Amino acid sequence: MRKVFQAELQHVGEELIQIATLVKEALERASNAFLETDIQEAEEVISNDARIDFMQNELDERSIDILALQGPVASDLRMIVGALRMSSSLERMGDLARHVAQVARMRYPAPVLPDSITPIFTEIIELDKKIIDSVIALLETRELSHAQDIAKHKVRINELHVEVFNRMAADDWDHPAQTTVDVTLASRYLERFGDHGVSVARKVTYLVTGDWNAVPQSL
């Protein structure tokens, strides 16, 4: 019976990695749609988001069944509850990638970004890609150095997010209201993507250490 239980726990962990991998693909395609005005990539992200939602629902149902039927305690209980919360964060990351793709689709065939601000968004997206790569590595290995990498990348994203708003507040920002709205929303979506990566890192750190006091404040 214990072997069956451990196999179920392992399956939950594998499903988290599968969802995170789909989120990585969604971000990569959404960024292509957003930066390269690629309508096909935008449509793929939007339609494929349903798969992430489906997998999250399946994982949550499996986790609830384990809670109900196995009555896990201590570290096993932390694992199941943590998986439920991490799946929610990963699903939200997929939603945020979809939102970015939707902005690109809405403005097609025109680009979303003015040329002057594109390099900032390019850097934010690259940092978000590093975050989801580190999330996958963290889920696979439980090596907490990946959590620290996630925190470091998020600090830089926060700085760039502020810089976006500084640029829009500058006297020489003369773009139409719709562009300002699009830039504001896109920056927020990408900044929140990183936040959810940090949330997953916090959960894994707690699972490894068993102590919230051991979770660095930077996370």
pLDDT of residue 77: 78
Lowest mean pLDDT among 53-57, 62-66, 208-212: 208-212
Residue pair 92/125 in contact (Cβ under 8 Å)? The answer is no
Residue pair 66/9 in contact (Cβ under 8 Å)? The answer is yes
> How many Å apart are CA 69 and CA 214, to the nearest integer?
31
Residue 174, pLDDT > 70, answer: yes
pLDDT (average), residues 90-119: 97
Residue 1, pLDDT > 90, answer: no
Model confidence at 214, in pLDDT bands (50, 70, 90)?
A: low
Average pLDDT, the chain: 93
pLDDT (average), residues 206-215: 77
Terminal-to-terminal C-alpha distance of the chain: 37
pLDDT of residue 18: 98
Which position has the higher pLDDT, 82 or 216? 82
In degrees and rounded to multiples of 5, residue 117 shows phi and psi of -110, -5
Model confidence at 78, in pLDDT bands (50, 70, 90)?
A: confident
> How many Å apart are CA 16 and CA 83, to the nearest integer?
7
Kindly report, residue by residue over 121-152, the tens digit of the pLDDT.
999 999 999 999 999 999 999 999 999 999 99
pLDDT of residue 149: 96
Q: Mind listing the domains of the chain with CATH numbers?
A: 2-214 (1.20.58.220)
- CA torsion 61→139→203→189, rounded to 10°? -90
pLDDT of residue 72: 67
Record the tokens describing residue 150, joined without a space: 């996630």
> How many Å apart are CA 41 and CA 34, to the nearest integer?
9
Lowest mean pLDDT among 29-33, 58-62, 209-213: 209-213
